[in-house]
Amino acid sequence: MKSNPYFGPMTLLAGVLIFSTNGFWQAIAPEGATAYVIGASRLLIGGLTLSLWCLVRYRKIHLQGWDWKAIGIYAVALWLYQIFFFQGVHLIGVAVGTVVAVGSTPIFAGLIQAFLYKEKPDLLWYIATAFAIVGLVLVNMVDDMSFAWYAVILPLLAGFTLAVSVIVAPRVAQPHSAEEGMAIVMLLGSVLMLPFFVLFPIDWMFTSQGALCVLMLGVVNSALAFTLELIGFKNTPTLIASTLTLGEPLGAAVIGIFVLNEPYTNESVLGILFLFVSILILVLGPELKFRLKNKLIFLN
């Protein structure tokens, strides 16, 4: 199955689209719920769920043979992303903060790849990233924006940490299963986030509605989604993977409009279309490019 050129991108996209429902579960969380505790609980529950799954399926969790440097970098990046992203959107708003954080991810990934590995993005990456960034801006157009310029630094740092995660993810998935690698990463990340359970209220988690939200975020939106994402990262070129993560705000916009009945404009609908085109270019483009190249060779 892994020889299928669509396997990696489609698996990654499935995980990313699950992530796009994070905002929905946070929106229906009980009063008193904070983004920090929500982020901490989903990592903790997700890590424990994946650990249990690994113990049932593989009888144990391998602790040898891992690239511990990559796992450590991934865990720290995952932890920092929660802090930078949620604090960033607190300062400048969810819409603009998401645009800056998620929209900057493929750009940072391209720059890191070019700087560290001397890998220059191909034309498809430039085209798809341009479509995606324009789409994000259109989807999240906000009137009368007013905030200090330095507030944008936090969402940019969130985008940088997400790009780092994308780059090290393939190394985390080796040499054992993606579930084991992700379980270890999430448990390490949740340990780093334990102070949030002390600094912020947690009583809302023990209500029926709160328990439903954190369980869905932990089991489905964390354990399942992160595993799908890691498998996708393992089987998708890094630059393509970094831009496919933009499917998250695409899914979130669709949920906001059709499920949460949030207001929308012609610009936001056009933005969704631009994001959809970007994803199609990345998923279908490489295979179409390969077939076209072979056809030209055959004709010559």
Residue 206 is encoded by which pair of tokens?
């023990």
Query: What tens digit of pLDDT does each residue of 23-39 get?
Result: 788 778 898 888 789 88
For residue 244, name the pLDDT band (cuts at 50, 70, 90). confident
Query: What tens digit of pLDDT does each residue of 9-22 get?
Result: 889 889 888 987 87
**Whole-number pLDDT of residue 1:** 45
Query: What tens digit of pLDDT does each residue of 65-100 get?
Result: 888 999 999 999 988 887 887 777 767 666 566 667
Q: What is the distance between the alpha carbons of residues 144 and 166, in angstroms, rounded to a whole number? A: 34
Q: What is the distance between the alpha carbons of residues 199 and 205, in angstroms, rounded to a whole number? A: 15
Q: What is the distance between the alpha carbons of residues 109 and 220, in angstroms, rounded to a whole number? A: 27
Q: What are the phi and psi torsion angles at 262 (to 5°)?
A: -75, 150
Q: What is the distance between the alpha carbons of residues 224 and 182, in angstroms, rounded to a whole number? A: 10
Position with higher pLDDT, 233 vs 50: 50
| Rg of the chain (C-alpha set) | 19
Amino acid at 129: T
Is-contact 6 279, C-beta < 8 A?
A: no
Is-contact 141 265, C-beta < 8 A?
A: yes
The winner for highest mean pLDDT among 73-82, 95-104, 137-146, 222-231 is 73-82
Predicted structure pTM score: 0.74
Asked whether residue 144 carries a pLDDT value surpassing 60, the answer given is no
- How far is C-alpha 230 from the chain's CA centre? 10
Count of beta carbons in the 10 Å neighbourhood of residue 110? 21
Amino acid at 131: F
**Whole-number pLDDT of residue 197:** 93
**Whole-number pLDDT of residue 149:** 59
